Chain A
Amino acid sequence: MTEEPYRWLEAMANRREYVRDQLKGGSPVFAASLPDGILLLGVGGGQSKVFELFDRHALAGLGHPADIEKVRQAAIDAAHLEAFTRAAEDVSLRRLIGFGLSPQLKTQFDQIFSAPFLVELLLAELGAEPGRDLLFRLHFDGAFSVQSGGAVMAASQPEAESAGQSWLNEALRDKTSRAEVVDLLLQAWWCQVQNKWLAESVPGPAQRQTGWREAVRGKTVEIGWLARHGPRHARYTPLTLAELGL
């Protein structure tokens, strides 16, 4: 197959279609950089979606739990080995993703006789100041993008993700309160799962708020907080809606 270019391209396209089809319906995850830290959010039906990786690093993802787990474990192994053999300050997502996770995902995706990873991920690295926060979007095929600060969303459908991302960047501008940001992220989550982004008009704030509150009933809202300042090296703490007054 590999010596026939057309069949190779067809096989790759089929795999891409297969992965997107498998991920369809996955619950999106979010990360947002704030003056005091980075918020990560996901809504799940029992399986965890938001994880601590290292002192200043966290991951959120959607997809098959076993595949998320493999990526998470690989990232934790690499981060702790790096911190132990060098120093905690040397653990960086740029290296972890660029030289570790991304090539592994790409290799797995290119091996057409083995199953690809069914994951869409975002990873966050806390900086000393908001301008140095890094948010990475890592795809199932190893492709990744990075942005400094702002907000990032990971969803299963690229068009809807792009539309939701634009809305988020506008809605979160100048927002600094964690409760306010979580509320907006959950509004974005509701719009995404209800497929509202690509509709003619996005529902109004009241409808979005009522919508997410009804939709999360019976589900688990996972919120991870990477605090910019604190007495300990490990800056990650899980938060609940109740703690945020929501």
Chain B
Amino acid sequence: MSDTKIAGDFLSLLAERHLLPSDPAQARGAPVETQATTVFAFHYADGVLMAGDRRATAGNVIVTDRVEKIIEVDSTSLLAVAGVPATAFEMARVLQTSFEYYRRSQLQPLSLPARVRALARLLRDNLPMTLQGIGVVVPLFAGVDHGVSPPQARIYFYDPLGAQFQAVGYAASGSGAGTIRSVLSFQERHAAAKPSQMNLREAVRFALALLNTASEFDAATGGVNPAAETYATIKVLQPAGVETVAERQQEEFLHD
């Protein structure tokens, strides 16, 4: 990374003060890392819905069923983390601070392409940890593109090395992603109720069903269990910004 400070770039400021979060050349022979799965995003009628289960595992141990994997980076960006939470949450924190720092210091918001690349840059910087097999993160990102009229919410997915791709209809990541992608593909192509045409209520119910389906085939994916008051983390991104679908609202939608 360059030592030259770039205007409005929070990572440059951190580097200047020797406060960059991680030294990748560490941690050989680390213990089994905690992993987080499964997250997905799809377009629905009013924007993008992003959801994730709340389970974190280490090997075959369930560490917790209360992880928040869908993170509001700023008022027009969402991040879904799959992989090692320690690295993923640190990336989210860097992005949150970077975007707000840029907006406040430069008096304008960061463009969507720049926000997408900022995450790619963090993944690239995490490459040594990825190659060692620890600290792997494969996130999803959703942001509002204000470069088009009217503004539109878009979905991006990444590979662990930082390559970025725009998803046309949907994207999924984590150990349950295969199941999710299969169902989403079938639903969009062949079913009468296409996700891209669903309203919020239908989209939330569909997202909860998707997670339950994934949890039937993947032990690392926590499903939805109303009896234990375990729901998903669901956020929607519309051109106007981010909204959270709270657990109580999910419960209402499920019982309609």
Binding site for B on A (CB under 8 A): 48, 51-54, 73, 76-77, 80-81, 83-85, 231-232, 234
Contact = CB atoms under 8 A, between A and B. Distances in A.
Interface residues of B, number: 17
Given A48-B107, A73-B105, A234-B75, A80 B17 contact: no
Contact of A80 (B10, B72, B74): B10
A81 B17 contact: yes
B93 interface: yes
B5 to A, nearest CB: 10
B100 A77 contact: no
Given A51-B104, A81-B19, 18 more contacts: A51-B107, A52-B104, A53-B104, A76-B105, A77-B105, A80-B10, A80-B13, A81-B17, A84-B10, A84-B14, A84-B93, A84-B94, A84-B97, A231-B244, A232-B72, A234-B74, A234-B75, A234-B100
Contacts of A52: 104
A232 B14 CA distance: 24
Contacts of B75: 232, 234
Nearest to A234: B100
8 contacts: A52-B104, A80-B100, A80-B104, A81-B13, A83-B97, A84-B94, A231-B244, A234-B74
B19 A84 contact: yes
A10 to B, nearest CB: 39
A83 B14 CA distance: 12
Q: Give the interface centre of B10, B72, B105 by most chain A CB atoms within 10 Å.
A: B105
Interface string B101-116: 1001101000000000
A54 B17 contact: no
B96 to A, nearest CB: 9
B186 to A, nearest CB: 35
Contacts of A80: 10, 13, 97, 100-101, 104
Nearest to B16: A77
Interface in B195-233: none
A58 B214 CA distance: 46
Given A84-B93, A84-B97, A234-B75, A77 B13 contact: yes
